[in-house]
Amino acid sequence: MIKFENVYKRYPGSKEALANVNLHLDKGEMAFLTGHSGAGKSTLLKLITLIERTTAGKLTVGGNQLDKVKSYSIPYIRRNIGIIFQDYQLLLDRTVFDNVALPLTISGFSKHEIRKRVSAALDKVGLLQFEKYLPVQLSGGEQQRVGIARAVVNKPAILLADEPTGSLDPELSKEIMSLFEQFNQVGVTVLIASHDLALINEMNKRIIRLEHGKVIS
Amino acid sequence: MKTIIKTKKAQLRQSRPGFFTIIQSFLLSHWHYFTATMSQLSKTPVSTFMTSAALGIALALPAGLYEMMLSVQKVGNEFDNIHKISLFLKPDVSQEQAQKLQIKLKSSASISAVEYKDQKQALEEFKEFSGFGDAINALNDNPLPQVLIVEPSLMYLEPSNLEQLLVTLKQNPEVKTAQLDVQWLKKLFSLISLAKTGVLVISSLLGLAVLLIIGNTIRLDIENRRQEILVTKLIGGTNSFIRRPFLYLGIWYGLLGGILAIVLVDISFLIIKQPLSTLAELYQSDLLTLNSTEISHNIELLTISILLGLLGALIAVNQQLKKIEPT
């Protein structure tokens, strides 16, 4: 599902952020990406979501070879990937419902279908009763669950999360992780960047360690 | 009905919406943004009004000048016969000779039509247009000669050609004088063309101002919604999806500015109307009037202002969207 082959990423005027990365995630696999700050976790995720382009090497995600993708097709490729951010990235002037509905609106689903899918996604993360609230009226953990609902509402094949529990306490973090596990159980490929080693060791999943832009295990 | 059910079922199976749904939601989304941007504008009435008023003023000036140009042209059309040459015949020329000359002139390539007026007709006309009717009634004899009114062919309408024609016509033995005020004609032509160019220049400049005002307003709005644009791009929003609300905003500004411009022009004409009609009375002309703008002109103005709004928004959005990319 996600395949890095000899991938390099160099930012202008600095040394390599990623060097010769080889990595393969199967369809339906769940893995954690870990390493120190600056090890290249975020860069790796940015390459998958096409926020950054590879400097060299071959990167295939969901059958698309990303190093060959033209910029006008980027939006369509991103629709197949659910992204979850550390700072949630919710639209603060819109209700929880509208936030979760955004990916469906973008893809052009009918109102009826949007209502159905958003309700299902909110129900899944346990926030159905908050659909009319604004994000600021919710706690951090709840806001992150809105972010997750938004990421999965489009039924993407891949779920990416960048430090999803970075600003949550351990209890809430566990809840969030078990949510990811549930999505993985229905066949979604999940890749989570996190440096919360205690938490990810508990999850008993594949752990990919990055150091100075290289995969070390 | 069956097919509808079928497509609905098919949609449920897919994780992507069907083609029909996409078209339908595309149209619905346009309607959504049309109304959403309207309510967005109505939430900030003061700034909306200020922007629209600036647009209205910028549009009202060329629109008003254009209407005035049309009125001046109407007055100009009244003097349609300025490019006609009047041949005043000698008093001893008989009616028969005059008509013979008329036929002779008609056959010339440089002349498209010749009208004959006997002394009676000439007098009647003179009474009607000169304003000296009463004075003429006091005369016993008709002092006016027979007249042939020569209309040159289209290609002879240039002032220099007309002068040439005039000389030729004078050489006919029956003709006493041939008259055409070419100097005056030249002046009028150049005045009208100067006015036209002036209106065009002012319109272009103010059209540019409208583009800039709308572009700048939209640019600020984009800047305010930077976060929203970033998130939308991250979850797969295409540029055209992101552009849509801003383009509708431009359309609304154009429409509001256009409506205000029409109101401003009509109010200004109402104010000018009274002094203008006094002036027209002095010249005994009923043509020198300014009416409120015609519906068709209003529609033209609205179309232009909406297009300017759309164009201004398009320029601003295309320029700004490139700068807003997730990092």
What rounded mean pLDDT belongs to chain A? 91
CB atoms within 10 A of CB A148: 25
Closest Cα in chain A to B11: A113
ipTM (interface pTM): 0.90
B3: pLDDT strictly greater than 70: no
Label residue B159 by pLDDT band (50, 70, 90): low
Here the CATH number for the domain that contains residue A94 is 3.40.50.300
The predicted pLDDT at position A216 comes to: 85
The predicted pLDDT at position B283 comes to: 66
Nearest to B75 by CA among B154, B192, B182: B192
Residue A3 lies in a domain: no
The predicted pLDDT at position B5 comes to: 45
pLDDT digits (tens, 9 = 90+) for A103-115: 998 888 888 999 9
pLDDT digits (tens, 9 = 90+) for B189-221: 778 788 888 889 999 999 999 999 999 999 999
Reduce the DSSP state of residue A212 to 3 states and report it. coil
Extents of the domains making up chain B = 32-78+187-321, 85-179
A111 touches chain B (CB under 8 A): yes
Q: What is the mean pLDDT of residues B132-143?
A: 72
pLDDT digits (tens, 9 = 90+) for A94-145: 999 999 999 998 888 888 999 999 999 999 999 999 999 999 999 988 999 9
Q: Which residues contact B306 (CB under 8 A, 6 or more apart)?
A: B251, B254, B255, B258
Determine the distance in angstroms separating the CA of B214 from the nearest CA of chain A, rounded to an integer: 24
A107 touches chain B (CB under 8 A): yes
Which of A64-73, A207-216, B277-286 has the lowest average pLDDT? Answer: B277-286
A33: pLDDT strictly greater than 90: yes
Backbone angles phi, psi at B203, to 5 degrees: -60, -40
Percent residues over pLDDT 90 in chain B: 29
The predicted pLDDT at position B130 comes to: 63
| Residue that wins the pLDDT comparison between B318 and B152 | B318
| HEC letters along chain B | CHHHHHHHHHHHHCCCCCHHHHHHHHHHHHHHHHHHHHHHHHHCHHHHHHHHHHHHHHHHHHHHHHHHHHHHHHHHHHCHHHHCEEEEECCCCCHHHHHHHHHHHHCCCCEEEEEEECHHHHHHHHHHHHCCHHHHHCCCCCCCCCEEEEEECHHHCCHHHHHHHHHHHHCCCCEEEEECCHHHHHHHHHHHHHHHHHHHHHHHHHHHHHHHHHHHHHHHHHHHCHHHHHHHHHCCCCHHHHHHHHHHHHHHHHHHHHHHHHHHHHHHHHHHHHHHHHHHHHCCCCCCCCCCCCHHHHHHHHHHHHHHHHHHHHHHHHHHHCCCCCC
Which among B16, B17, B232 has CB closest to A110?
Answer: B17
Q: Which domain holds residue A119?
A: 26-53+71-209
| Residues found in chain B | 327
Count of structural domains within chain A: 1
Which among B25, B228, B326 has CB closest to A91?
Answer: B228
Q: Which residues pair with B150 in a beta bridge?
A: B85, B114
Q: Which residues pair with A30 in a beta bridge?
A: A190
Reduce the DSSP state of residue B289 to 3 states and report it. coil
Contacts of B231 in chain A (CB under 8 A): 89-91, 102
Which among B22, B236, B325 has CB closest to A103?
Answer: B236
Contact A78 B238 (CB under 8 A): no
Determine the distance in angstroms separating the CA of A64 from the nearest CA of chain B, rounded to an integer: 15
Q: What is the mean pLDDT of residues A14-18?
A: 85
The predicted pLDDT at position B129 comes to: 64
| Residue that wins the pLDDT comparison between B235 and B278 | B235
CB pairs under 8 A between A and B: 72
Separation of alpha carbons A128 and A117, rounded Å: 12
Label residue B4 by pLDDT band (50, 70, 90): very low
| Residue that wins the pLDDT comparison between B92 and B6 | B92
DSSP A140: H
What rounded mean pLDDT belongs to chain B? 81
Separation of alpha carbons B49 and B207, rounded Å: 19
CB atoms within 10 A of CB B51: 19
pLDDT digits (tens, 9 = 90+) for A167-187: 788 888 888 899 999 999 999
Query: B85-179 in CATH: which number?
Result: 3.30.70.3040
Label residue B150 by pLDDT band (50, 70, 90): confident
A48: pLDDT strictly greater than 90: yes
Label residue A146 by pLDDT band (50, 70, 90): very high
Residue A117 lies in a domain: yes
| Residue that wins the pLDDT comparison between A193 and A195 | A193
Closest Cα in chain A to B236: A75
Among all chains, which residue has been given the structure tokens 């970075």?
A166
Label residue B114 by pLDDT band (50, 70, 90): confident
Contacts of B235 in chain A (CB under 8 A): 78-79, 83, 102-103, 106, 150-151, 154
**C-alpha distance from residue B223 to each of A64, B227, B228, B255, B317 (Å):** 33, 9, 10, 23, 10
Q: What is the mean pLDDT of residues B2-22?
A: 56
Q: What is the mean pLDDT of residues A69-76?
A: 90
B236: pLDDT strictly greater than 60: yes
B10: pLDDT strictly greater than 80: no
Residue A103 lies in a domain: yes
Is residue B255 within 8 A of residue B54, CB to CB? The reply is no
pLDDT digits (tens, 9 = 90+) for B263-290: 999 898 888 888 877 777 776 655 566 6
Contact A103 B235 (CB under 8 A): yes
Q: What is the mean pLDDT of residues A20-44?
A: 91
